[in-house]
Chains A and B, each alone.
Chain A
Amino acid sequence: MDRWIAATSTLWFVTADGFLGVLVFASYFSTWRRWIVTRLLPLSVFRSSIFPPISIIVPAYNEELTIVESVRALMRLDYPRYEVVVVNDGSPDDTLGALCQAFSLKPIYRLAIKLDIPTEEIKSVYHNPDFSNFYVIDKINGGKGGALNAGINFSQYPWVCTIDADSLLDRRALLHLMRTYAQQPQKIVALGGMIRVANGCTVEQGRVAKDRLPRNMLATMQMLEYIKTFIGGRIGWTVLGGLPIVSGAFGLFRRDLVVAIGGYSRQRPGEDMEIVMRLHEYCLSHSIPYAIVFCPDAVCWTQVPETRKILAHQRRRWGRGNLRNIQLFLHMFGRPRYRVVGLVTLPYLVTMEFLSPYLILLTTLLTLILVLHGHTVPPFLWFIALIGWVIDFTLGILSIILDDIAYHHYRWSDMLKLFLNLVHMPLWYYPMVTYWRIAGHIQLLRKINPWGDMTRKSWGSSKP
């Protein structure tokens, strides 16, 4: 049994940490290139009206507390032409009322909406001519995918940006995305932005005035996780050409292609990953040259759960979404026709996202059985665990340093706190998240599919 445990642990350790290491180093090289390009292409160039206009779609469900502040932030974006379309997805709370009151909106009639993608019935559209680029759609509840589809039908511009209603977009986020787009305008079909944790930050007039670390330990752990995933992972995935997901909280898509693939899936969860995988599939099977890229300069601030209960809901939902998408796109697994997506991304998703929790669980159980039978824990397991921890710590530090140098400047005290939190992260946070992921898989198999609660805080109260 010792040998079996050794083989399993070593295999998992080598594949997981080796691949994550490759992604981090790819991120470093890509950042150098990006650094040069950002110096060559100043942002002021992209304020010109020749750059394609963007429709920002904000699906909102029970967002009464945050929606007004989020829309105010969206109205102050630094981009030449855009429209904001908030889709109220049949919220039982007073989301619509809050918007109507804050912006003096009135229902408008005889408005053209192109039904490119099937969605639920739209009850009415609200608008105020004083805010010429702002519309609110009130529709029957149909999930996030349905709300996004309604927004896409209503949108009139060639690029659609989807953001969560509880997020705050950085003023220059769209300019940063377009700078990345301008490097390969013929190829890029979707762009993802960086999600940063806003818990602990001071928000004034729809902008993050002071960014500080969250005081809550769970929020800090999630912040570290986001930095490792986005900076250490997604930049590397972009270099490889197989980015599996553009975050649902902030992404930019070519409208015609989203319409061509039939819009967002109305089956939840995991619609953000599903649309990206479908774009990959569509472009590869139709031989369309394409690129889906991650842009770390474009920042979107979001509130992360601060209690275990809400975090558990979120992670179970993510677990269900991952497994559902793996099931949906398993036919691409290992097929050279689907290039990097078939040969690298899908195997990665299957091994790292689906199998790895079970491998960890299996190894832990086997070790427990050995101990219960009076054996001692084999020394190589301690060794592998130690090496794994050291590599995880190193990759975490590299990601934070890269983030600090290239994209986001941290205070020294904050950096130190992040490093210290990296030390104990694998001891309690990873096992907890792994457990919720497995619970999510079980929920999907039992066809239990709740969205879960998400308690919002008003942006005005998000001060340290």
Chain B
Amino acid sequence: MLDTLITPSDDWQVLAGLVSIIVSTLICWALARGMRSYARHVPLRSFTVRRAKRALSRRFTSPTMVRLVGSLRYRPAARILLAQMRPQPFGPRLFLYAWAVARCAITPEELEIVALEIMKHGVPCYGLVINIMQSSSLSMEAWCQKWLGESDPRFQYLALLMGTIAPLPAPNYTEFLSHPNINYRVLAWRNTLVTSLSPHPNLVNRLMGDPSWQVRAIGARLLGQWDTEAISLHLRKGLQDSHWWVRHNSAESLARMPFWGQPILFQSIAHDDRFAKDAAHDALRQIDERYSDLFLDGQMVPRIRKHAHG
């Protein structure tokens, strides 16, 4: 027996393991019980508010404290949090401070100050600003409308970005359709086309004649929602654009237009240049893989000609 205790066998080790598991489970259970009774008897909110107040009396930087103050929406902490947020570099801690300070700030003016502070970190942070604005009393549409009228270009850009989530009626974006910055124009055209019922022919002309291929490409993609003759003709011009993305998006849009668009794709394959042919071929292949096989067999062109003329 003594020998067994001194050099424990595998069985003894298993037994010791089981005992330690049981003991640790009991300890955890007791602790959990104790915590529950403590929570029942102590008012948790007053306890945490007390902690927050105590923390505010001195400089606090612990993420836990920031999270606590933010979750309590403890309004007096807004100023201190904002002061502490200012020197933070771009990173997770800035995001935490932004979230906390946005919860503590109540009025739209205060939120605007927070937004300005965050926007100092550049365009990658604009998404964060939109997120925190969603927690304010003003609706997204109202923010969007308000900021479109601002003279600060950063707020205008933010408003255009917000427009992708909470679209305003198309006329709001008119002045940005010829903005010198391509990013502004892309967003403005996108928001305009998403919100308009049917774009005016002059507007489509302007869109597909934009000097930037990014604008033409997004235009070509969005125009596919209207299956009309006028738009299909514009998209046919897009098939011969100098940039691949415009040709590709035009072809995909035409493929989405069964009445006016798809016949144009067939006509392009039979008549247009190599660039248009390639784009049309891709789009048709996505509609039906059989088109691809027919191309390989060399049977497609006669059939397409027949289809296009017929």
Contacts and interface: CB of A to CB of B under 8 A. Distances in A.
Contacts of A114: 242, 275
Contacts of B242: 114, 116
Nearest to B275: A156
A1 interface: no
Contact of A156 (B213, B278, B295, B298): B278
Nearest to B274: A112
Interface in B230-248: 242-245, 247
A407 interface: no
B252 to A, nearest CB: 12
B244 A53 contact: yes
B245 A112 contact: no
Interface string B268-310: 0000011100100000000000000001001000000000000
A111 interface: yes
Nearest to A156: B275
Interface in A36-73: 52-53
B148 to A, nearest CB: 24
B243 A112 contact: no
Nearest to A129: B298
A256 interface: yes
B244 A157 contact: yes
A112 B243 CA distance: 14
Contacts of A129: 298
Interface in A332-367: none
A158 interface: yes
A158 B274 contact: no
Contact of A256 (B243, B247, B275, B298): B243
Given A53-B244, A157-B244, A256-B243, A112 B213 contact: no
A157 B213 CA distance: 13
Given A116-B242, A156-B244, A158-B245, A256 B278 contact: no
Nearest to B246: A158
Interface string B188-223: 000000000000000000000000010000000000
Contacts of B245: 52, 158
Contacts of A156: 244, 247, 274-275, 278
A53 B243 CA distance: 12
Interface in A124-149: 129, 132
B275 A158 contact: no
Given A158-B244, A256-B243, A112 B273 contact: yes
Per DSSP, chain B at the interface is helix
Contacts of B244: 52-53, 156-158, 255
Nearest to A55: B244
Interface size range of chain A in the complex: 10 to 19
Contacts of A157: 244
A112 B271 CA distance: 12
Contacts of B274: 111-112, 156
A353 B229 CA distance: 61
B298 A112 contact: no
Contacts of B243: 158, 256
A256 B243 CA distance: 7
A371 B274 CA distance: 71
B251 to A, nearest CB: 12
Nearest to A287: B181
A112 B241 CA distance: 12
Nearest to A112: B273
B179 to A, nearest CB: 15
Contacts of A132: 295
Interface string B124-149: 00000000000000000000000000
A132 B298 CA distance: 11
Contacts of A158: 243-245
Nearest to B123: A289
Nearest to A116: B242
Contacts of A112: 273-275
Interface string A241-277: 0000000000000011000000000000000000000
Nearest to A288: B182
Nearest to A125: B274
A316 B244 CA distance: 39
Most chain A C-beta atoms within 10 Å of own C-beta, residue among B213, B274, B275, B298: B274
A129 B296 CA distance: 9
Contacts of A111: 273-274
A129 B273 CA distance: 15
A132 B301 CA distance: 14
A156 B279 CA distance: 10
Contacts of B278: 156
A373 to B, nearest CB: 60
Contacts of A256: 213, 243
B166 to A, nearest CB: 24
Nearest to B214: A256
Interface of B: 213, 242-245, 247, 273-275, 278, 295, 298
Interface of A: 52-53, 111-112, 114, 116, 129, 132, 156-158, 255-256
13 contacts: A52-B244, A52-B245, A111-B274, A112-B273, A112-B274, A112-B275, A114-B275, A132-B295, A156-B244, A156-B247, A157-B244, A158-B243, A256-B213
Closest 7 CB pairs of A and B: A112-B273, A158-B244, A156-B275, A157-B244, A112-B274, A114-B242, A111-B274
Given A156-B247, A158-B245, 18 more contacts: A52-B245, A53-B244, A111-B273, A111-B274, A112-B273, A112-B275, A114-B242, A114-B275, A129-B298, A132-B295, A156-B244, A156-B274, A156-B275, A156-B278, A158-B243, A158-B244, A256-B213, A256-B243
